[in-house]
C-alpha cells in the first residue's frame, strides 16, 4: 500500500500554487505599503505559551492542539495561530523599544479539527499585528488595509462584522449578566458550555451546537455593558471605518475563539464558501503582551485563512501564465533556440523546450499533455526566414511570426 498524506494536511499542487503565490504577493505589497515588515517565527513553541495566551478553556487549547513531548520530554506544540509567537518574539527581542511595531507573517498553523471544505488540520494564515498603538484609528486602518487587500485580489462580497468585548472591567460586569442568563437556559446548553459556564461563559456565544445557538438567541448584548472608554473606542472605530468607505455590520454575539481579545473583535465573511465562510478574523488585544511578561502594550491584529481565499479565487479563474512548449527541429534550430528562449524568459514568458526526439506529430501530442497553451515550432525553413510557427492549442489555428512578435503572441492567455 502506498503512503498518503496525514488526514487534514494538504499538498498545494501546480494550478493552485500560482493562486497562492498571487495572494502572497499582493499581501506583501499592500502590507508593506502600510509600513508592515515581515517576521518569521518558529512553527513550534513551548506549549505553555499557547495555554497562557489563547486561554485554557478555549476549544483550541482544550482539544485542537498538536502537542507532544520532544526527545528530552519537554512539551511542545505546533502553533495553532500566529499572534502568540509574534508577541513572544516581541518581548524576547525587546522590540518595544520602538514606539510602534507593524509586523506580518505568513505560514502554516495546526489545529486538530474535523477536516472538511475550508477547514483543515494544517492550514495557512497571513496575519498582521500592530503592537504599541492604542488608537481606534489603528483598528480602523488595519481593517481598511484588509478590505483593500480583498478588493485588490477580487474576493467578492467580503463583509465586515465587528463587535467590542470591552476591557477587563466592563467584561467582568457582562460575564455576570451572561452567567445569570445562561443559568436560566442551562437545560438547553451543551455539556461543554455548561462545564465552562463558570470560568468562561462567553464561550457559549461562540458554540456551534444548535441547542446553544438557540438558547443564547436572547442573551444580553455585550454592547450594553461597555464602559464609557470602551464605548467611545467602539464608536470611533466605526466612525473611521465609514471615513474609509466601509460600513461595518455590528454583531454583538461575536466573541471569537481566543480569550486574549479586548475591545474590537471582527470577522470578514465571504459568499461562496458554505459554512466555512470566515476568510479573516482578529481584533484588539491590549492585555496579552503584559500578561506574557512584557510592558503594557495595546495591540491590534488579524489573520487571513489562505485556503479559503484560494478556494474563492479558484472559482473565479486562476492565475497561471500560459505555457508554451517549444519544439526545435534539427541541429541548427536546436542551437538557435538556446539564445532565443533565453530572451523570451527574460521577458517573463513561460516556455518549456521539448528535448524529446521522434515524429513531430507525437511531439505535438506530448506538448498537449504537458498543458501547452501554445506550441511553437522552429524548423529549418522557419530558421532561414527568421520566423517560428505558433499553434494555438485551444483553437488549433496556426500562424507564422517573426521571433519578436511571436514572444508577444504567446504571452496572451
The residues binding ligand ATP (CB under 6 A) are: 81, 111, 113, 118-120, 123, 125, 256-257, 276, 278-281, 303, 305, 307-308
Q: What is the CA radius of gyration of the chain?
A: 27
Q: Which CB sits closer to ligand ATP, 90 or 260?
A: 260
Between 120 and 150, whose beta carbon lies closer to ligand ATP?
Answer: 120
Distance CA 85, CA 69 (A): 19
Total count of residues recorded for the chain: 413
Location of C-alpha cell 511553437: 376
Q: Which is nearer to ligand ATP, 259 or 382 (CB)?
A: 259
Which residue from 321, 337, 319 is spatially nearest to 329, judged by alpha carbons?
Answer: 337
Cβ at position 60, least distance to ligand ATP in Å: 7
Which C-beta is closer to ligand ATP: that of 51 or that of 363?
Answer: 51
> Considering the complex, what minimum distance in angstroms separates the CB of residue 8 from ligand ATP?
8
Nearer to ligand ATP, 105 or 374 (CB): 105
Sheet strands (E) in 156-291: 159-164, 249-250, 262-269, 278-284
Q: Which is nearer to ligand ATP, 141 or 267 (CB)?
A: 267
Contact 373, 349 (CB under 8 A): no
Cell numbers for 285, please give them: 488585544
Query: Is 41 exposed, middle or buried (CB count within 10 Å of its CB: 0-12, 13-18, 19+)?
Result: middle
CB of 53 to ligand ATP, least distance (A): 12
- Taking the least distance from each CB to ligand ATP, the nearer of 278 and 389 is 278
Q: How far is the CB of 52 from ligand ATP (least distance, A)?
A: 17
The answer to whether residues 351 and 324 touch, using CB atoms and an 8 Å cutoff, is yes
Query: Are 137 and 239 within 8 A, CB to CB?
Result: no
* Distance of closest approach, residue 83 Cβ to ligand ATP, in angstroms: 9
Contact 139, 237 (CB under 8 A): yes
Residue 212 to residue 215: CA distance in whole angstroms: 5
| Cβ at position 281, least distance to ligand ATP in Å | 4
Sheet (strand 249-250) strand order = 37-38, 101-110, 122-131, 299-305, 278-284, 262-269, 159-164, 249-250
Judged by beta carbon, residue 65 or residue 333, the one nearer ligand ATP is: 65
**Minimum distance of ligand ATP from residue 192's CB (angstroms):** 15
Helix (H, G, I), strand (E, B) or coil at 385: helix
In whole angstroms, the minimum distance from the beta carbon of 24 to ligand ATP comes to 15
Amino acid at each position: 500500500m502506498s503512503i498518503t498524506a496525514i488526514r487534514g494536511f494538504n499538498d498545494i499542487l501546480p494550478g493552485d500554487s500560482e493562486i497562492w503565490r498571487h495572494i502572497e504577493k499582493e499581501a506583501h505589497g499592500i502590507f508593506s505599503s502600510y509600513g508592515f515588515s515581515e517576521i518569521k517565527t518558529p512553527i513550534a513553541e513551548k506549549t505553555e505559551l499557547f495555554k497562557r495566551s489563547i486561554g485554557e478553556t478555549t476549544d483550541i487549547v482544550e482539544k485542537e492542539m498538536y502537542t507532544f513531548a520532544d526527545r528530552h520530554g519537554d512539551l511542545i506544540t505546533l502553533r495553532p495561530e500566529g499572534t502568540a509567537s509574534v508577541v513572544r518574539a516581541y518581548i524576547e527581542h525587546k522590540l518595544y523599544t520602538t514606539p510602534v511595531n507593524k509586523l506580518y507573517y505568513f505560514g502554516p498553523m495546526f489545529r486538530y479539527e474535523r477536516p472538511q471544505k475550508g477547514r483543515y488540520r494544517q492550514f495557512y494564515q497571513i496575519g498582521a499585528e500592530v503592537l504599541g498603538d492604542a488608537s481606534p484609528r489603528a483598528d480602523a486602518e488595519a481593517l481598511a488595509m484588509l478590505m483593500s487587500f480583498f478588493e485588490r485580489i477580487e474576493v467578492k462580497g467580503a463583509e465586515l462584522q465587528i463587535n467590542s468585548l470591552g476591557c477587563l472591567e466592563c467584561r467582568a460586569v457582562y460575564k455576570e449578566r451572561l452567567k445569570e442568563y445562561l443559568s436560566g437556559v442551562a437545560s438547553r446548553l451543551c455539556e461543554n458550555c455548561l462545564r465552562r459556564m463558570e470560568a468562561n461563559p462567553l464561550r457559549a456565544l461562540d458554540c456551534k451546537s444548535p441547542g446553544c445557538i438557540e438558547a443564547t438567541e436572547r442573551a444580553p448584548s455585550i454592547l450594553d455593558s461597555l464602559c464609557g472608554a470602551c464605548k467611545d473606542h467602539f464608536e470611533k472605530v466605526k466612525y473611521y471605518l465609514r471615513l474609509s468607505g466601509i460600513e461595518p455590520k455590528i454583531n454583538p454575539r461575536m466573541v471569537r475563539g481566543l480569550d486574549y481579545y479586548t475591545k474590537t473583535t471582527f470577522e470578514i465573511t465571504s459568499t461562496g464558501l458554505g459554512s466555512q465562510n470566515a476568510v479573516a478574523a482578529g481584533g484588539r488585544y491590549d492585555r496579552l503582551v503584559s500578561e506574557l511578561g512584557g510592558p503594557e502594550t495595546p495591540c491590534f491584529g488579524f489573520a487571513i485563512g489562505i485556503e479559503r481565499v484560494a478556494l474563492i479565487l479558484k472559482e473565479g479563474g486562476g492565475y497561471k501564465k500560459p505555457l508554451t512548449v517549444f519544439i526545435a527541429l534539427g541541429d541548427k534550430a536546436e542551437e538557435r533556440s538556446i539564445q532565443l528562449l533565453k530572451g523570451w524568459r527574460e521577458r517573463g514568458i513561460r516556455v518549456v523546450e521539448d528535448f524529446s526526439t521522434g515524429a513531430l506529430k507525437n511531439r505535438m501530442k506530448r506538448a498537449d499533455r504537458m498543458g501547452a497553451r501554445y506550441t511553437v515550432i522552429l524548423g529549418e525553413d522557419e530558421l532561414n526566414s527568421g520566423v517560428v510557427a505558433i499553434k494555438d492549442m485551444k483553437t488549433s489555428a496556426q500562424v507564422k511570426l517573426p521571433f519578436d512578435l511571436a514572444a508577444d503572441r504567446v504571452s496572451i492567455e
